[in-house]
Amino acid sequence: MTETNLAPMDNTALPAFLQGKELTTTGMEDAGADKTTPRIQLAQAMSPQVKKKNEEYIDGLEEGMFFNALTGEVLGETFTGYILKAYETRALFTEDSTVDCHSQDFVHGSKHSPLCKDCPLSKWQKAADGGRDTPPACSTFMALVVLPEGADAPALLSIKRTNKFAMAEARNLNTHLTLHAHMGTFAAAYEFTAKVSQSGKNTWFTPSAHPIGFVNDEAKYNAMKEMAEQFKNINHMEERT
pLDDT tens, residue by residue, 97-117: 788 888 888 888 888 888 998
Distance CA 110, CA 149 (A): 35
E strand spans, the chain: 40-42, 66-68, 74-76, 78-93, 99-103, 139-148, 155-160, 188-199, 202-214
pLDDT in tens, the chain (241 residues): 334 445 556 666 677 777 655 556 567 666 654 444 589 999 999 999 999 999 999 999 999 999 999 889 999 999 999 999 999 999 998 888 788 888 888 888 888 888 998 998 888 888 777 778 888 888 899 999 999 999 989 999 999 887 888 899 999 999 999 988 889 999 999 999 999 988 788 889 999 999 999 999 999 999 999 999 988 888 775 544 4
Please check whether residue 4 lies inside any domain of the structure.
no
Give the strand pairing for 78-93 and 202-214: unpaired
For the entire predicted model, the pTM comes to 0.80
Domain assignment present for residue 98? The answer is yes
Bridge-partner residues for 208, per DSSP?
Answer: 193
Instruction: Tell me whether residue 120 is in a domain.
Output: yes
Number of domains the chain contains = 1
Distance CA 41, CA 52 (A): 18
115 found inside a domain: yes
Phi/psi for 84 (5° steps) reads: -90, -25
Q: In DSSP terms, which residues pair with 88 in a beta bridge?
A: 142
185: which DSSP letter?
Answer: G
Rounded to whole angstroms, how far apart are CA atoms 237 and 215? 32
Provide the domain limits for residue 54. Answer: 11-124+131-229
Q: What is the pLDDT of residue 51?
A: 95
Residue 142 lies in a domain: yes
* Within a domain: 240: no
- Could you tell me the CA-to-CA distances from 184 to 77, 187, 205, 236 in Å, in that order? 26, 6, 28, 19
For 180, phi and psi rounded to 5 degrees? Answer: -120, 20
